[in-house]
Amino acid sequence: MIRLVPLSAALALAAGVSASAALPVGAKAPDIATQASLAGKPFPFRLSNALRNGPVVLYFYPAAFTSGCTVEAHDFAEATPEFAKLGATVIGMSADPIDTLNRFSVSDCRSKFAVGSASKQTIAAYDVKLPVLARSNRTSFVIAPDGKIVFAYTALDAAGHVDKTLAAVKAWRAAHPG
């Protein structure tokens, strides 16, 4: 008999596992080409294209419509105007299918920022796989327009991701005015 472990239980198990972003500050961020959704409308997203407009806050989260991911999405939605003032684009990434992300982008992201569907290859390239599930852990990156990672933070607790990435974008902007 096969037993399925609920997502919340698996996340609780994974929370005990120490995780860190394998892509360190200074590493070149792998390009991403995927389907994303903004305000319930799917569109093709490519990281290299987004970087032409300024830094990108790329955050991975385990699954749409789970309690921590909802809190994090609400926090990023509230902070999106401040990121935009600094010229930064915010995009969330999970292993969820695009139809789920279409709904999540409206409800939990409040149509403020895009969320993309992360393939197994993308999750592996960023080394953000949860050890227990075929999903990503909660890792936030700030990527400069040159494609280099200037900030990386991993913690399954949603608290702190927005504040830390906003501080990193502010620091990058102060060093790169205009």
Q: Annotated catalytic sites, by residue?
A: 69
- Cα–Cα distance for residue pair 34/50, rounded to 1 Å: 12
What torsion, rounded to 10 degrees, do the Cα atoms 101, 52, 48, 54 define?
-60
Question: Among the residues of 86-119, which ranges form H helices?
Answer: 98-107
How far apart are alpha carbons 32 and 46 in whole angstroms? 5
Contact 59, 140 (CB under 8 A): yes
Residue with tokens 């927005």, as numbered in its chain: 162
∠ CA 107-71-53, rounded to 5°:
75
- Residues 64-92 as b/e (b if ≥16 CB within 10 A, e otherwise) read bebebbbbbbbbbbebbeebeeeebbbbb
